[in-house]
Amino acid sequence: MLWLVVYNGALAAGWSLVLYLTISTVIQGGSSQQVYQASQWPLKISQTAAIMEIVHSASGLVRSPLFTTVVQVFSRIWALWGIIELAPSSTIRGSVTVLKFQGYKLELSLISLLVAWSISEVLRYTFYVFKELKVSPPYPLLWLRYSTFIILYPLGVASELTMAWLARPTIKDTRPLSVQLPNLGNFAFDYYWACWVIAVLYIPGLPQLYMYMLTQRKKILGGRNAGAKKQA
């Protein structure tokens, strides 16, 4: 379908730009704040446009499971608009060190988030373009599409939760998007605690989505390898 070719092609290009701006800024010695300033508009447009994936799934335009699609899209929309944009001073500049070794350290930060997101999305949307054109993708692309998630998905999720953790003090102090009593609707909503609930929901959500991708990997790559061996 032409729309899906255009949609996936545009997002592959958008995420490629995010990846390029992120890597090039880091190579030039830029801070995470400079990385975000350079990449924020293609990031916001590309990530927000992912909402259409829910529409595609719900309407039957694609065969992706609706629940899985909603969870994946919502978690990233929340991380971008509900965390980073609401607490930029703490999320964009902050980081959490998870490992130190001989002068080197592994940090979870905005940069690790953008790298994980952009690489996975460039591969995914490029793969979908081939699929919609009914053209077999090059095997390297196929392998990367169903293999890099093994590292990138946990890295992305860990980075999303790191953003939420770094934003915690700011959201607690400012209480954005919250509704306090008394009001005409007699309704209260505390966004700070809602963020905690969402973060906790990652615990059952991560294994389910990860196992789904592993199953898909076995189905796609396993079947291909088995066919190759049979032909040999």
Active site residues: 153, 160
Which are the contacts of 9, defined by CB distance < 8 A and separation ≥ 6? 125, 129
Torsion angle defined by CA atoms of residues 77, 82, 85 and 88, in that order, rounded to the nearest 10 degrees: -120
3-state SS assignment for residue 91: helix
In the chain, the amino acid numbered 28 is Q
**How many angstroms separate the CA atoms of 222 and 168, rounded?**
42
Is residue 33 within 8 Å of 27, Cβ to Cβ? no
Residues in the chain: 232
**How many angstroms separate the CA atoms of 142 and 144, rounded?**
6
Q: Compute φ and ψ for 103, nearest 5 degrees.
A: 85, -10
**How many angstroms separate the CA atoms of 78 and 118, rounded?**
17
